[in-house]
Amino acid sequence: MFKKHLDFEKLKLVNTNSMGEHLGIEFVEIGEDYVTARMPVDHRTCQPFGILHGGASVALAETLGSIASFMTLDDPTKQQAVGLEINANHIRSVSSGNWVYAKATPLHLGRTTHIWDIKITNEEQKLVCVVRFTVAILGNK
């Protein structure tokens, strides 16, 4: 499913000078049909009350889903993957000093849209947030 134009080492470079780098997002694993990443729960990702900010969870999900879509493109020099719609349900809080883990798996990989199921869990693998993310596949101009 994933193309070889972006290997694990190049994934690290994709985050350079981006929101993903600012939030401390790190890619963890590329599976046959999934991608995982983790994000620290710290001063960059917490709300004033010391727990994970919902917006940081959404940023983690969109970062992961966009990269996952990019990795499925036949020719990334002629196509790009951009977020179209995102829906997140926040289920459980996570305190500062911990990590959250996100796993993106495809629900639909069409010619012009992709839909990803992204589950964010805490270090105990308890569900923190459930996200459905739709990506538009555009031709480069």
Where in the sequence numbering do the catalytic residues fall? 62
SS3 state at 24: coil
Question: According to the 3-state scheme, what is the secondary structure of 58-119?
Answer: HHHHHHHHHHHHHCCCCCCCCEEEEEEEEEEEECCCCECCEEEEEEEEEEEECCCEEEEEEE
Q: How far is CA 116 from CA 21, 50, 104, 128, in A?
A: 22, 29, 6, 17
Distance between alpha carbon 65 and the CA centroid of its chain, in Å?
A: 4
